[in-house]
């Protein structure tokens, strides 16, 4: 997806539509509230969020309805969103004012990605996509039960009413989807008809033709669903999902599943959760800025914003951390070049902005000697406490079973069996999520995808031995990082070395960390080599993105003769088997967002990230990569089949033993 800077809307002072109008045109036009009654979930897709009044009126109607659906997803695309201050200044009807205040409090920076805002203890989810409607619609992975179409006349919103918009709506429409719009303009009705919607004008009380309502009734067989998990393997809601691994990934998944209404059992081989990579005293989270704004930068931007929301909520329960920002120093880049990138990408300052060395020093509370990105939405958190908080938030929906290692997965009678080293069955489950670090459970001898286990060491020095002029009050990163003091000590690091199996801290690595922090903070005074720290092992995929999603069915890939699998979304999947692995050195951000991706895939809710980012983190991307490379080298199904068999053996052992 091409991203373009978001242009904020002009100042607004009052609502365009009142609750009664929204109720008449959009809610009643879609048969609401009646159609959401008795449903587990209901998804509304809107083109044009504007002042948010349609959403607020819908939320008010949902709140007031005793028979409402359990979960309401409201997905809205807005090409020119309001800044938070403009949003806050809009005059609202008294009935909507308190809801509007909640919306403003959660209002995100205007960056081009999906923003997830959660209300009513997670029962109502607002997914906001800022940018062009026609570009966004094909990127949404969901099933819409109702459409709210913004705009009053085709001349007013020509881009929002382009034929490809209506076509894309048809692709995400549930079989019984309905649609309503503010106008009954002919071109709108013609466009909807072309895309498979039958519409009729709705008259107001005075008999004037005011709006349009309709339903999806295609006279053609439409292409398959936009979802990429095996639809035949939808998780039965009445049994728990089994999660292997009680680190950041596993605990975040348990929490996200609970919010989606599903229970889970987390299997952790250690006596306590968060003892391995997730066992550090503190970790940072922040976005990535890159001039090209490619998938890597876009994923980690969305992930950092998701982490911020989680950490901000966790801080309220006493989890140590901060969401007050973070500095990333750029020693090799000029300030002018950085400002040019920021301007070209149109980065909002509440996400990231460029600061010169003097301002960076003022923010950090210690002199710094390089320009920096100030990530206002970044911060730090204690990952151990965050893991515990995620499990606490899941409440009775999450159970933890510690002290037993899962040795292997077996497929038996349509279910997954988790067995220990003695082949004793630990659990039988319809749905399993591998959150074991690297997904090595799939094949103990060699990893199922191109990942490496990388050794990392952090160092810590007591405040007493630290040069007093060089104590930062917020995290500072660059080549390495340093945190503000935590309980009388300063933590800094971290090394990145190939795994040699040695978990002991080493003097050489402490020295390397010390040299890094001296350069970062321009420390010239002598310092004692630290003698305290912690070693951990991070799993890293070769493309530096996490591995999140449904696991490919390599037996089906090998057997297929017709379709090509050059895009991950086309690759067949093993039923009910998911991974959230290889979180690398950005585990906090990747866990926060990746867990939502897993929960939406299992529960059937809208994906919290766009389709090309789903591709970017999809476990099947490695299959597609091999297909593309082998297709470039030699064409033909035969070559593809050989490749698939080789991959199959590498991934699952001879004969694809885990295939159904």
Ligand X SMILES: Cc1cc2nc3c(=O)[nH]c(=O)nc-3n(C[C@H](O)[C@H](O)[C@H](O)COP(=O)(O)OP(=O)(O)OC[C@H]3O[C@@H](n4cnc5c(N)ncnc54)[C@H](O)[C@@H]3O)c2cc1C
Which helix (H) or strand (E) segment holds residue 75: the answer is strand 71-78
- Least distance in angstroms from the C-beta of 458 to ligand X: 5
DSSP conformational letter for 108: P
Q: Using the rule CB under 6 A, which residue among 494, 599, 627, 647 binds ligand X?
A: 494
Q: Using the rule CB under 6 A, which residue among 150, 268, 382, 618 binds ligand X?
A: 268
Does the footprint of ligand X cover residue 491 (CB under 6 A)? no
Helix axes 587-603, 248-259, angle to 10 degrees: 40
Binding mask 206-245 toward ligand X (x if CB under 6 A, else -) reads: --------------------------------------xx
Helix axes 383-394, 295-315, angle to 10 degrees: 70
Q: Using the rule CB under 6 A, which residue among 493, 605, 608, 656 binds ligand X?
A: 493
Nearer to ligand X, 128 or 248 (CB): 248
Between the alpha carbon of residue 87 and those of residues 5, 45, 106, 305, the distances in Å are 19, 21, 11, 19
Does the footprint of ligand X cover residue 304 (CB under 6 A)? no
Contact 619, 550 (CB under 8 A): yes
Between the alpha carbon of residue 568 and those of residues 174, 346, 535, the distances in Å are 23, 30, 35
Query: For tokens 């749905």, what's the residue?
Result: 431
- Least distance in angstroms from the C-beta of 301 to ligand X: 14
- Least distance in angstroms from the C-beta of 327 to ligand X: 14
Phi-psi region of 267 (alpha: psi -120 to 50; beta: other; left: phi over 0): beta
Does the footprint of ligand X cover residue 247 (CB under 6 A)? yes
Does the footprint of ligand X cover residue 512 (CB under 6 A)? no
CA angle 545, 476, 337 (to 5 degrees): 75
Cα separation, 18 vs 16, in Å, equals: 7
Q: Using the rule CB under 6 A, which residue among 80, 270, 522, 657 binds ligand X?
A: 270
Does the footprint of ligand X cover residue 363 (CB under 6 A)? no
Residue-by-residue DSSP string for 299-335: HHHHHHHHHHHHHHHHHTTT-SEE-S-EEEE-SSS-H
Q: Which residues contact 473 (CB under 8 A, 6 or more apart)?
A: 364, 365, 366, 484
- Least distance in angstroms from the C-beta of 244 to ligand X: 5
- Least distance in angstroms from the C-beta of 443 to ligand X: 12
Size of site (CB under 6 A) for ligand X: 40
Residue 454 tokens, joined: 């990388």
CA 495 to chain centroid, in Å, comes to: 27
Contact 29, 131 (CB under 8 A): no
Q: Using the rule CB under 6 A, which residue among 74, 182, 267, 300 binds ligand X?
A: 267
Q: Using the rule CB under 6 A, which residue among 80, 275, 428, 657 binds ligand X?
A: 275
Does the footprint of ligand X cover residue 248 (CB under 6 A)? yes
Does the footprint of ligand X cover residue 536 (CB under 6 A)? yes
Cα separation, 149 vs 82, in Å, equals: 19
Instruction: Give backbone dihedrals phi and psi of 233, rounded to 5 degrees, phi first.
Output: -110, 35
Q: Using the rule CB under 6 A, which residue among 50, 283, 371, 568 binds ligand X?
A: 283
Does the footprint of ligand X cover residue 585 (CB under 6 A)? yes
Does the footprint of ligand X cover residue 280 (CB under 6 A)? yes
Binding mask 383-412 toward ligand X (x if CB under 6 A, else -) reads: x---------------------xx------
Contact 125, 45 (CB under 8 A): no
**Binding piece for ligand X, criterion CB under 6 A, among 59-67, 355-363, 431-439, 644-652:** 431-439
E strands of 449-527, at which residues? 451-462, 476-478, 480-482, 489-493, 497-498
Q: How many CB atoms lie within 10 A of CB 242?
A: 24
Tally: H helices and E strands in the chain: 18, 29
- Least distance in angstroms from the C-beta of 602 to ligand X: 18
* H, E, C per residue of 507-571: HHHHHHHHHHHHHHCCCCCCCCCCCEEEEEEEEEECCCCCEEEEEECHHHHHHCCCCCCCCHHHC
Q: Using the rule CB under 6 A, which residue among 246, 552, 606, 608 binds ligand X?
A: 246
Q: Using the rule CB under 6 A, which residue among 26, 100, 277, 303 binds ligand X?
A: 277
Q: Using the rule CB under 6 A, which residue among 52, 587, 594, 605 binds ligand X?
A: 587
Identify which of 401, 404, 370, 580 has the alpha carbon closest to the alpha carbon of residue 477.
370
Binding mask 437-476 toward ligand X (x if CB under 6 A, else -) reads: x---x--------------xxx------------------
- Least distance in angstroms from the C-beta of 189 to ligand X: 50
- Least distance in angstroms from the C-beta of 51 to ligand X: 36
Residue 222 tokens, joined: 């439409």
What radius of gyration do the chain's Cα atoms show?
26
Does the footprint of ligand X cover residue 253 (CB under 6 A)? no
Nearer to ligand X, 246 or 572 (CB): 246
Binding mask 545-584 toward ligand X (x if CB under 6 A, else -) reads: --------------------------------------xx
Q: Using the rule CB under 6 A, which residue among 470, 538, 596, 640 binds ligand X?
A: 538
Q: Using the rule CB under 6 A, which residue among 137, 249, 338, 548 binds ligand X?
A: 249
Strand order in the sheet with 283-285: 283-285, 379-381, 321-322
Does the footprint of ligand X cover residue 533 (CB under 6 A)? no
Nearer to ligand X, 167 or 453 (CB): 453
Q: Which residues bind ligand X (CB under 6 A)?
A: 244-250, 267-270, 275-278, 280, 283-285, 383, 405-406, 435-437, 441, 456-458, 493-494, 536, 538, 583-589
């Amino acid at each position: 997806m091409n991203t373009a800077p978001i242009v904020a809307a002009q100042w607004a002072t009052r609502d365009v539509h009142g609750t009664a109008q929204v109720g008449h045109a959009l809610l009643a036009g879609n048969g609401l509230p009646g159609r959401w009654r008795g449903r587990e979930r209901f998804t509304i897709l809107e083109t044009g969020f504007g002042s948010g009044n349609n959403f607020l009126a819908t939320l008010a109607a949902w709140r007031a309805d005793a028979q409402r659906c359990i979960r309401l997803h409201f997905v809205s695309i807005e090409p020119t969103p309001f800044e938070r201050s403009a949003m806050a200044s809009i005059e609202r009807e008294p009935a909507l004012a308190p809801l509007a205040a909640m919306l403003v409090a959660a209002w995100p920076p205007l960056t081009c990605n999906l923003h997830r805002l959660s209300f009513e203890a997670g029962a109502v989810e607002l997914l906001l996509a800022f940018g062009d409607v026609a570009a966004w619609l094909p990127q949404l992975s969901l099933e819409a039960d109702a459409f709210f179409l913004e705009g009053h006349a085709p001349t007013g919103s020509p881009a929002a009413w382009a034929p490809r918009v209506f076509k894309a709506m048809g692709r995400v429409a549930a079989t019984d989807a309905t649609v309503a719009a503010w106008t009954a303009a002919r071109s709108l009705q013609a466009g909807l008809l072309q895309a498979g919607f039958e519409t009729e004008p709705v008259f107001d009380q005075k008999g004037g033709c005011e709006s349009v309502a309709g339903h999806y009734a295609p006279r053609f067989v439409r292409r398959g669903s936009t979802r990429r998990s095996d639809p035949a393997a939808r998780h039965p809601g009445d049994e728990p999902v089994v999660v292997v691994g009680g680190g950041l990934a596993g605990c975040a998944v348990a929490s996200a599943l609970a919010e989606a209404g599903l229970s889970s059992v987390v299997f952790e081989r250690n006596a306590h959760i968060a003892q391995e990579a997730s066992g550090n005293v503190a970790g940072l989270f922040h976005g990535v800025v890159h001039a090209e704004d490619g998938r890597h930068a876009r994923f980690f931007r969305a992930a950092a914003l998701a982490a911020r929301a989680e950490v901000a909520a966790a801080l309220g329960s006493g989890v140590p951390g901060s969401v007050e920002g973070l500095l990333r120093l750029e020693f090799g880049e000029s300030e002018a070049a950085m400002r040019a990138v920021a301007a070209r990408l149109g980065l909002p300052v509440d996400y990231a902005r460029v600061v010169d060395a003097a301002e960076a020093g003022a923010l950090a509370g210690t002199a710094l000697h390089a320009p920096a990105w100030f990530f206002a939405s970044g911060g730090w958190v204690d990952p151990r406490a965050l893991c515990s908080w995620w499990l606490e938030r899941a409440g009775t929906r999450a159970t933890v079973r510690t002290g037993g290692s899962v040795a292997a997965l077996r497929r038996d009678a349509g279910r997954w069996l988790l067995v220990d080293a003695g082949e004793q069955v630990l659990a039988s489950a319809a749905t399993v999520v591998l959150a074991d670090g690297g997904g090595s459970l799939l094949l103990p001898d060699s990893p199922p995808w191109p990942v490496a286990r990388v050794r990392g060491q952090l160092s810590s020095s007591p405040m007493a031995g630290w040069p007093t002029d060089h104590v930062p009050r917020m995290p500072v990163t660059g080549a390495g990082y340093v945190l503000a003091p935590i309980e009388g000590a300063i933590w800094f690091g971290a090394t990145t070395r190939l795994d040699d199996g040695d978990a002991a801290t080493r003097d050489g690595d402490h020295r390397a960390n010390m040299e890094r922090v001296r350069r970062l903070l321009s420390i010239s005074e002598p310092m004692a080599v630290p003698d305290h720290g912690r070693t951990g092992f991070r799993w890293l995929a070769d493309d530096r993105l996490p591995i999140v999603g449904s696991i490919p069915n390599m037996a089906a890939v090998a057997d297929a003769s017709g379709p090509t699998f050059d895009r991950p979304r086309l690759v067949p999947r093993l039923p009910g088997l998911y991974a959230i692995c290889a979180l690398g050195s950005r585990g906090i951000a990747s866990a926060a967002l990746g867990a939502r991706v897993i929960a939406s895939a299992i529960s059937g809710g809208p994906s919290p990230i766009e389709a090309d980012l789903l591709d970017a983190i999809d476990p099947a991307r490695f299959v597609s990569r091999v297909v593309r490379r082998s297709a470039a080298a030699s064409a033909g199904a035969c070559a593809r089949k050989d490749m698939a068999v080789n991959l199959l053996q590498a991934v699952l052992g001879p004969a694809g033993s885990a295939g159904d």
